Structure 1
Amino acid sequence: MPTYKLFLLPGDGIGPEVMAEALKTADLLGQIGVAKFETEMGLVGGAAYDSHGKAISDSDMRLAGAADAVLLGAVGGPQWDSVAFDRRPEAGLFRLRKDMDLFANLRPAVCYPALADASSLKREAIESLDLMFVRELTGGIYFGEPKAIIDLGDGRKRAVDTQVYDTHEIERVGRAAFELARKRKNKVTSADKHNVMKSGVLWREVITALHSHEFADVTLEHQLADSLGMQLVRRPTQFDVIVTDNLFGDLLSDVAAMLTGSLGMLPSASLGAPDPTTGKRRALYEPVHGSAPDIAGKGIANPIAMIGSLALCLRYSLGLDEAADKAEQAIANVLAAGLRTADIARDVSAVVSTAEMGAAIRAELRRLLA
């Protein structure tokens, strides 16, 4: 039985609650002989700031870099709103992404049949939805310089954020999208704002050239990011893989999340480049939802996105595809049986707690792997 090192960063708000369910799921996989997991726990976000005044420590960064994969819960909360910008909870997440060079963020948006009526769209528009966002994660306006608030005097200020992309940044995330599309429906939609932004002009130019030189077998279409947002709520099933920059990916993938019924449903994977010697890549897995401080500690958070993030870890970092498939099937089966957490509850048979949902998924996973 193989052994893997997981570094766990529960974070803030509901992060520790949903992380506990993912850890129990990893323990189950060890019990039934799929893989053994050695785990270490660290601090990130507000929890790290409260402990040592930084959003993540240097020692925890080293542990993250040495692990086979990192699992993160959530960061942030209103109690840290007045903290200096470079020490706020989100700074820990940004450092993990930047220092580990996790440039490709994969955000699947899947509509489980049992949840089609929980979507904000009509069932006929959302049934069979299965799309994948590939968001560039370490460049663009979130990391570009200069970034500042400048005092102009007389009570006036000017805020500056800079959108910057180089050719290689666009190429590598584009390559990740095309390679992924080859394993799906062989279609990529690239979103930009080339009509008003120079970075969009370069984005479209580089994606087009990459497609022509290396991926001509994959269908490629370009859309303006605002138009793509409209199409997501008009006919989302027309898309397969969507690749876009950091800012647009952040916004549009949250739109896609709500199409599935709840932000609590969506996992994500942030991947680095494969090591040229071992083929392994650094990776971080986290739910798309935030820290949800309003429900933290109440035991009602939805753990599905966190358990789904573990499933992505099994697939993309550990090569345990069968276990990943079974974990995702276990989630689908539990939902089909009528179990819901409060965020996705409608007219169903049972509304369950965080722990009860996690236990039900593990029981079904055990059955599927028997």
Structure 2
Amino acid sequence: MTAPSLLILAGDGIGPEVMAQVRRVISWYGDRRGLNFDVSEDLVGGAAYDAHGVPLTDETMAKAQEVDAVLLGAVGGPNYDDLDFSLKPERGLLRLRKEMDLFANLRPAQCFDALADFSSLKRDVVAGLDIMIVRELTSGIYFGEPRGIITEGNERIGINTQRYTESEIARVARSAFELARRRSNKVCSMEKANVMESGVLWRKVVNEIHAAEYSDVELSHMYADAGAMQLCRWPKQFDVIVTDNLFGDLLSDAAAMLTGSLGMLPSASLGAPMANGRPKAMYEPVHGSAPDIAGQGKANPIACILSFAMALRYSFDEGEEATRLESAVEAVLAQGARTADLLGPEGGTPISTSEMGDAVLAALDASV
């Protein structure tokens, strides 16, 4: 059988450093578990601009459309702040999301027990937290037309349009319900149906999809502002949250801080199934390129490693191996391994990016 294909786009800043540790994990799975991948690499973001004058070439875009999954590190940096908007590193990332039609963004918020005291909330509120926010990624107010800044009389007016079609809502709702069936079978849909017509349609379509196809899944609704409050009050009441692009952006960042560090948070962006049944997919850590620590061996590779775990689970149907990798990370944290971002008020001596990779590989070795 042909090995599944991965395209690695390490990107900028700490992207290459954390992705190097993922490459070691990928090699471990081939050597120790017989799980091999056809891995290729290319450029995105500032690295692509430096080499080609654009943040993503057409050739790289074509590769991304052909592979089974894309692994992305991070894009951006101060060297590119003065570029034209169309050439900024982030445009490469947005092009990937848009042209691959990655409409469902999966943002897990999981609090490992060893890090429960790092959260801004009390230990009993966050210990054992494991929720998933499913954010619609390719429509809504970030893409709606008309948009822009116009002048009426003596005033400037900024315009953005919140726009959703029935089919756009339906497909992300199905993604959330399918995901819930693999977890605790519970979905909370969040919108602002009390003040927004798009929210009214959102709730109607989610209810229709639930009644027709997913009546076995428990469904609840919550206004997004109330949802933000409940995430801070008692987040463990939730399993899967599905919401639109704008609210998903806000709620997922709020949920991220419940876990203690952005260096721990992976994500997946999924699209429609390809001919082989696998979804179009891109996996990336939530953290940015962190140019202030790039090249210093300080970056935490765990978010990128856990992004590969999500690829194992959602693209390659290797749930047991994904759990193996997640358990290895949990074991390493329980043993006290800490990169600089994971040091508490008591301080301590941090380990390097590669040493954290060493520790994860050792834990994987111990698991077989």
Task: Map 1:330-345 to 2 at 5 A.
Answer: 330-345=328-343
> Residue 47 of structure 1 aligns with which residue?
47
> Residue 355 of structure 1 aligns with which residue?
354
Distance 2:159 2:66 in 1: 36
CA 1:301–1:81: 2 relative to 1, 3 Å: same
Residues 194-219 of structure 1: per-residue CA shift (max 9 Å, x gap): 12222111111111111122112211
Task: Map 1:65-144 to 2 at 5 A.
Answer: 65-144=65-144
Residues 212-254 of structure 1: per-residue CA shift (max 9 Å, x gap): 2211221111111111111111110010000001111111111
Distance 2:81 2:180 in 1: 40
Shift of 1:350: 5.0
- How many residue pairs match? The answer is 367
Single out whichever of 329-338 and 60-69 deviates more from structure 2: 60-69
Residues 44-67 of structure 1: per-residue CA shift (max 9 Å, x gap): 112222222322110000111111
Distance 2:53 2:24 in 1: 30
> Residue 244 of structure 1 aligns with which residue?
243
**Matched residue SS, 1:252:** helix
**Matched residue SS, 2:307:** helix
Amino acid at match of 1:28: W
Residues 113-169 of structure 1: per-residue CA shift (max 9 Å, x gap): 111111111101111111011111111122222332336686x54332222110001
Distance 2:70 2:178 in 1: 23
Distance 1:217 1:124 in 2: 30
Distance 1:288 1:48 in 2: 20
Shift of 1:18: 0.7
Single out whichever of 277-286 and 119-128 deviates more from structure 2: 277-286
> Residue 217 of structure 2 aligns with which residue?
218
> Residue 196 of structure 2 aligns with which residue?
197
Amino acid at match of 1:127: A
Amino acid at match of 1:158: I
Distance 1:359 1:157 in 2: 55
> Residue 294 of structure 1 aligns with which residue?
292
Distance 1:24 1:338 in 2: 21
Residues 39-97 of structure 1: per-residue CA shift (max 9 Å, x gap): 22111112222222322110000111111110001112233223222222221111111
> Residue 176 of structure 1 aligns with which residue?
175
Verify the 8 A CA contact 1:28 1:362 in the aligned structure 2: yes
Distance 2:287 2:321 in 1: 24
**Matched residue SS, 1:196:** coil
**Matched residue SS, 2:279:** coil
Distance 2:292 2:21 in 1: 20
CA 1:332–1:348: 2 relative to 1, 3 Å: farther
Task: Map 1:19-38 to 2 at 5 A.
Answer: 19-38=19-38
Single out whichever of 56-65 and 313-322 deviates more from structure 2: 313-322
Verify the 8 A CA contact 1:4 1:35 in the aligned structure 2: no
Shift of 1:322: 1.9
**Matched residue SS, 2:120:** coil
Amino acid at match of 2:41: M
> Residue 188 of structure 1 aligns with which residue?
187
Residues 10-55 of structure 1: per-residue CA shift (max 9 Å, x gap): 1111111111111111011112143222222111112222222322
CA RMSD of aligned residues (A): 1.7
Distance 2:199 2:225 in 1: 13
Runs of 5+ consecutive residues of structure 2 not aligned to the other structure: none
> Residue 57 of structure 1 aligns with which residue?
57
Verify the 8 A CA contact 1:105 1:137 in the aligned structure 2: yes
**Matched residue SS, 2:268:** strand
**Matched residue SS, 1:340:** coil
Verify the 8 A CA contact 1:339 1:350 in the aligned structure 2: no
CA 1:321–1:2: 2 relative to 1, 3 Å: farther
Verify the 8 A CA contact 1:301 1:354 in the aligned structure 2: yes
Amino acid at match of 1:190: S
**Matched residue SS, 1:279:** coil
**Matched residue SS, 1:191:** strand
Distance 1:2 1:360 in 2: 31
Verify the 8 A CA contact 1:2 1:35 in the aligned structure 2: no
Amino acid at match of 1:53: G
Structure 2 residue 230 is matched with structure 1 residue 231 = yes
Amino acid at match of 2:59: S
TM-score, normalising length from structure 1? 0.95
Distance 1:235 1:149 in 2: 40
**Residue of 305, 309, 312 corresponding to 1:311:** 309
